[in-house]
Chains A and B, each alone.
Chain A
Amino acid sequence: MEIMLAVLAGALVAAGAYLMMNGKTLPYLFGLTMISNSANIIIFASGRLTFGKPPLVPEGEKYIQGAANALPQALILTAIVIGFGLLVFALCLAYRSYYVLGTIEMDQMHSSEPGTEANPQ
């Protein structure tokens, strides 16, 4: 199971990196979402994977033997929520910058660099 998750994380990073190198703002963000999901999967796997062991402590005992660590799952929840917030901001930014700058090609965004009208050499 861990191997499957590892392969999945790797595939997500590969697909994400491919999209991010496309050079357009929107595919960049989709790629970034994939990479951040692969980071979530890494954290998930770091808590170990167990079958049929709900994280419920049996009556009269202090620990559950052989159950997955629940903390990484809580960490992922935090990371997902934060990731959503950042993604929403980034999407709004991509949308606004398309209107303001007139392009989604990152190679054509030069307004803040020297050699343009606002920034002569």
Chain B
Amino acid sequence: MILFWPVVIPFFTAILCLLAWKSTEMQKGISLAGALALFGSALTIFAEVATNGPFAAQAGSWPAPFGITMVADMLSAIMMLLVGFVAVCVVMFSFSDISNEEIHFGHHTLTHALFAGISGAFLTGDIFNMYVWFEVMLIASFGLLVVGGGREQFDGAVKYVGLNLIATVAFIAGVGLLYGATGALNMADLHAKLAGRSSEAAILASAAFLLFAFGSKAALFPVFFWLPASYHTPSFSTSALFSALLTKVGVYALIRVFTLVYDIDGTLMQPILIWGAVLTMLFGALGSLSQNSVRRVLGYSIITSIGFMIFGLGLGTPLAITAGAFYLFQDVLVKANLFLMAGATARLTGSELFARSGGMWRAHPALSLLFLIPALSLAGVPPFSGFWGKFLLVTAALEVNGYFLTFAILATGFLTLFAMGRVWAAVYWTPHPSGPRAITGSLGPSTLVPILALTIMIVAIGIDANTYVELATTVGAQITDPTGYITAVLGGAE
């Protein structure tokens, strides 16, 4: 039953927020309570998976391949844990970031609808149900993107909506072809039915559709254009949510579908994923160097990180999948932290454009150091969490003698360091264009607590890496050998 909580709680919170439409203060309280409850339910699921392994629940008690299955293995459980944690942090941050007008337009309602869609996509064991959760997530993200209604937001939203709708159509067409060829929608059932059929035309066509659909959601090369066009336009809270969780759902779906459903080992899909990932990394890193505004740089750095994760998936060895999963987990925290930090900084300096901000180091040295930690982690500098992700990926690439691939990872890391250095120099190091007294404000606890909490997690993962790498190893083992997942779904369910 607990597997339905992460879906029910956000929907319930969204409804309560609607009922409290008139009182912005009440909406804030309900929203935070809902996020905490979501985190709590995620903790319960994680504890269950950590002690007893993967488990499943059948909606309406329909037996497994016929009804809709909700299932949690280690990958889903950790993703849910991160959703809960980021939800609490971002909702708290939004108290000082979101205006009352935006709350009246339904910011908190849409945010929780987004959480419901994300949680559903992470927990469902049925590919058509995953499509439905993607739609829930998508429509909520459309709303969040235009709440506020600025010129830039509409411009970004037109591109975001236009390109994401194509991906949606590809997703449903892929699911249709897959059902036509196998007669199954349950992913554990599909695993058995697709064994040894990976070269049939219908199966390949559906795999291509799904690769395009999830690749677009995850912003893989060459279908990433919607991301840098839109992620810098909404409020900082919204872009933090999008960058930390939304693109990761695409990555999660790629990992789930191309390990559990399709066996990509030795097929054409493998080189496509690997080289797509390498180009994603390099284009993201080069793109971030050409931008002159904090969130635009960070937008391209999301693309870079997606490349690292998909690289792990494409390589496909147990170590590579472990590395990709570890990178995925820590990147959720790093991205949330960077975008919240960008929001806090822009509030103090008055702008996120390089040309119109600066002087943070002089005015707020401690806060500036808080930017440095996620930025260095993103670039892969020890001892922060990103270093271990890159370390594992490089080890995995060297294991299969991929010297060029190793070079691509290291070069991307260097370019990212350079991009973060540019942000540091423009926003923190150089004086403010309006003189040294331009920065006068200070930040309240609702801004600082989430940033500190995320930073502490990043440092903790970096220093106590062994614990977290072991978790990622469990994830990698469950993905490469999904027996536990399949038994949980098809046999001996509740």
Q: How far is the CA of A21 from the CA of B161 in the complex (A)?
A: 15
- Chain A's nearest CB lies how many Å from the CB of B69? 15
A50 within 8 A of B: no
Contact A100–B149 (Cβ < 8 Å): yes
Which of B149, B155, B158 counts the most chain A CB atoms within 10 A? B158
Tell me the count of chain B residues lying within 8 A, CB to CB, of chain A: 45
Contact A114–B166 (Cβ < 8 Å): no
The answer to whether A112 and B232 touch (CB under 8 A), given A25-B158, A45-B180, A120-B353, is yes
Q: Tell me the residues in window 64-112 of chain A with beta carbons closer than 8 Å to chain B beta carbons.
A: 69, 71-72, 75, 78-79, 82, 85-86, 89-90, 93-94, 96-97, 100-101, 106, 109-112
Contact A112–B152 (Cβ < 8 Å): yes
Pick the interface stretch among B289-297, B400-408, B418-426: B289-297
Q: Tell me the residues in window 29-55 of chain A with beta carbons closer than 8 Å to chain B beta carbons.
A: 32, 35-36, 38-40, 42-43, 45-47
Contact A114–B139 (Cβ < 8 Å): no
B128 within 8 A of A: yes
Contact A39–B151 (Cβ < 8 Å): no
- Chain B's nearest CB lies how many Å from the CB of A3? 15
The answer to whether A43 and B179 touch (CB under 8 A), given A97-B158, A112-B156, A114-B292, is yes
Contact B135–A86 (Cβ < 8 Å): yes
Q: How far is the CA of A109 from the CA of B393 in the complex (A)?
A: 39
The answer to whether A93 and B158 touch (CB under 8 A), given A32-B165, A100-B151, is yes
Q: CB-nearest residue of chain B relative to A82? A: B135
- Chain B's nearest CB lies how many Å from the CB of A42? 5
Q: CB-nearest residue of chain A relative to B171? A: A39
A interface, over-half SS: helix
Q: How far is the CA of A118 from the CA of B356 in the complex (A)?
A: 12
Q: How far is the CA of A113 from the CA of B151 in the complex (A)?
A: 11
Chain B residue numbers with a CB within 8 Å of A112 are 152-153, 155-156, 229-230, 232-233
From the candidates A25, A40, A118, A120, name the one contacting B152 in the complex (CB within 8 A).
A118
Q: How far is the CA of A32 from the CA of B293 in the complex (A)?
A: 33
Q: How far is the CA of A58 from the CA of B146 in the complex (A)?
A: 53
Q: How far is the CA of A77 from the CA of B292 in the complex (A)?
A: 46
Q: How far is the CA of A120 from the CA of B1 in the complex (A)?
A: 52
Contact A101–B151 (Cβ < 8 Å): yes
Chain A residue numbers with a CB within 8 Å of B161 are 89-90, 93
Contact A39–B149 (Cβ < 8 Å): no
Contact B154–A82 (Cβ < 8 Å): no
Contact A72–B166 (Cβ < 8 Å): no
- Chain A's nearest CB lies how many Å from the CB of B316? 29
From the candidates B155, B162, B173, name the one contacting A39 in the complex (CB within 8 A).
B173
Contact A120–B155 (Cβ < 8 Å): no
Q: How far is the CA of A93 from the CA of B161 in the complex (A)?
A: 9
Contact B179–A71 (Cβ < 8 Å): yes
Contact A90–B165 (Cβ < 8 Å): yes
Q: How far is the CA of A47 from the CA of B139 in the complex (A)?
A: 28
B460 within 8 A of A: no
Q: What 1/0 flags go to B127-152 for Cβ under 8 Å of A?
A: 01001100100110011001001011
Q: How far is the CA of A121 from the CA of B132 in the complex (A)?
A: 40
From the candidates A32, A46, A89, name the one contacting B179 in the complex (CB within 8 A).
A46
The answer to whether A36 and B169 touch (CB under 8 A), given A86-B138, A86-B139, A93-B154, is yes
Q: How far is the CA of A11 from the CA of B312 in the complex (A)?
A: 39
Q: How far is the CA of A120 from the CA of B352 in the complex (A)?
A: 11
- Chain B's nearest CB lies how many Å from the CB of A92? 9
From the candidates A40, A100, A120, name the one contacting B355 in the complex (CB within 8 A).
A120
Chain A residue numbers with a CB within 8 Å of B173 are 38-39, 42-43
Chain A residue numbers with a CB within 8 Å of B293 are 114, 119
Q: CB-nearest residue of chain A relative to B232? A: A112
Contact A93–B157 (Cβ < 8 Å): yes
Chain B residue numbers with a CB within 8 Å of A118 are 151-152
Q: How far is the CA of A115 from the CA of B408 in the complex (A)?
A: 31
B30 within 8 A of A: no
Other A-B pairs, 18, CB within 8 Å; known A43-B176, A47-B180, A112-B153: A28-B162, A36-B168, A43-B172, A43-B180, A71-B179, A85-B139, A89-B143, A89-B161, A90-B162, A93-B142, A93-B146, A97-B158, A100-B151, A112-B229, A112-B232, A113-B155, A113-B229, A114-B293
Could you pull out 24 A-B pairs where Cβ atoms are within 8 angstroms?
A32-B166, A36-B169, A39-B170, A40-B172, A43-B179, A46-B176, A46-B177, A46-B179, A47-B180, A75-B176, A75-B179, A86-B139, A93-B142, A93-B146, A93-B154, A97-B157, A100-B149, A101-B154, A106-B162, A111-B151, A111-B154, A112-B230, A118-B151, A118-B152
Give the 3 A-B CB pairs with smallest separation, nearest first.
Answer: A46-B180, A43-B176, A111-B155
